[in-house]
């Protein structure tokens, strides 16, 4: 499974396995271009959850719109809008 952040406004996106370590996520976001302001946590899934708990929304680094969070399994893709409150 993979967790993906996707901006519906400008198509900016970033994805990683839920258990991907913090350091690896940070390195990939820096190297691949999109830089999402995520909270520090041991894993990518934790980073997303901590950011949503603290801010209520994850903003796109390109257009500042709210991004959607999706869980991608091998045979399905489910999009969940990110609640702002």
Q: How many domains does the chain have?
A: 1
Q: For helices 44-55 and 22-32, give the axis angle rounded to 10 degrees.
A: 80
What pLDDT is stored for residue 78 in this prediction? 42
What pLDDT is stored for residue 66 in this prediction? 93
What pLDDT is stored for residue 73 in this prediction? 56
> How would you write the pLDDT of the chain (85 residues) with one tens digit per residue?
788 999 999 888 888 888 999 899 888 888 887 778 888 899 989 989 999 999 999 998 889 899 999 887 544 444 444 443 3
Residue 85 lies in a domain: no
Residue 26 lies in a domain: yes
Domain range for 32 is 2-80
- Using a cut of 0.75, tell me whether the model's pTM lies above it: no
Residue 74 lies in a domain: yes
Rounded to 5°, angle at Cα 15 from 14 and 20: 125
């Amino acid at each position: 499974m993979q967790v993906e952040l996707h901006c519906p406004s400008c198509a900016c996106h970033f994805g990683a396995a839920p258990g991907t370590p913090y350091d690896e996520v940070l390195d990939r976001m820096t190297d691949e271009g999109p830089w999402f302001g995520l909270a520090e946590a041991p894993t990518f899934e934790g980073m997303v959850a901590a950011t949503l708990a603290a801010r209520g929304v994850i903003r796109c680094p390109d257009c500042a719109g709210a991004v959607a969070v999706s869980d991608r399994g091998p045979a399905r893709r489910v999009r969940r809008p990110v609640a702002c409150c």
